[in-house]
């Protein structure tokens, strides 16, 4: 398995930094889709430390192929565009859609844990 992520960065001023931003964004999207579950009680976190709040590690992230698309932004500094958060946005929906294509159930609430998918499969006429 691998992730291929193509992003329009405007002018690529620092290719290594841009690639790192894309890889970090993909890792964050994987966390949102599959692991991270911030539980609240009246606005107070029930998961107050990283011991309870699960984040992806290097072992959880597949190889990432970064495709840097350059279309300079005339209003950006030196023609650059932001790449940090935009790299996060498509990852979770792509994972959820891949899950749907694979098993035929649509997860509507994140994270899509194995337990959630199993519960949805039990409710489906297979």
Taking only the tens place, the pLDDT of each residue in 34-78 is 999 988 999 999 988 888 888 999 999 999 999 999 999 999 899
Q: Are 88 and 23 in contact (CB under 8 A)?
A: no
Q: If you average pLDDT over residues 77-100, what whole number do you get? A: 92
Closest CA to 21 of 68, 63, 60: 68
CA pair distance 113, 48, nearest whole angstrom = 20
Query: Active-site positions?
Result: 85
- CATH class as words, domain 3-94: alpha beta
Domain boundaries, the chain: 3-94
Q: How confident is the model at residue 126 (pLDDT cuts 50, 70, 90)?
A: low
What pLDDT is attached to residue 33? 96
Looking at every residue in the chain, the average pLDDT score rounds to 92
């Amino acid at each position: 398995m691998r992730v291929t992520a193509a992003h329009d960065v405007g002018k690529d001023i620092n290719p290594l930094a841009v690639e790192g931003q894309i890889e970090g964004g993909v890792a964050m999207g994987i966390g949102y889709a599959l692991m991270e579950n911030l539980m609240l009680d009246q606005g107070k976190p029930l998961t107050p430390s990283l011991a309870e709040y699960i984040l992806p590690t290097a072992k959880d992230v597949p190889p990432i192929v970064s495709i840097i698309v350059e279309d300079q932004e005339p209003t950006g500094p030196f023609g650059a565009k932001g790449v940090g958060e935009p790299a996060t946005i498509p990852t979770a929906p792509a994972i959820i859609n891949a899950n749907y294509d694979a098993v035929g159930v649509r997860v509507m609430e994140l994270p899509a844990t194995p337990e959630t998918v199993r519960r949805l499969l039990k409710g489906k006429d297979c």
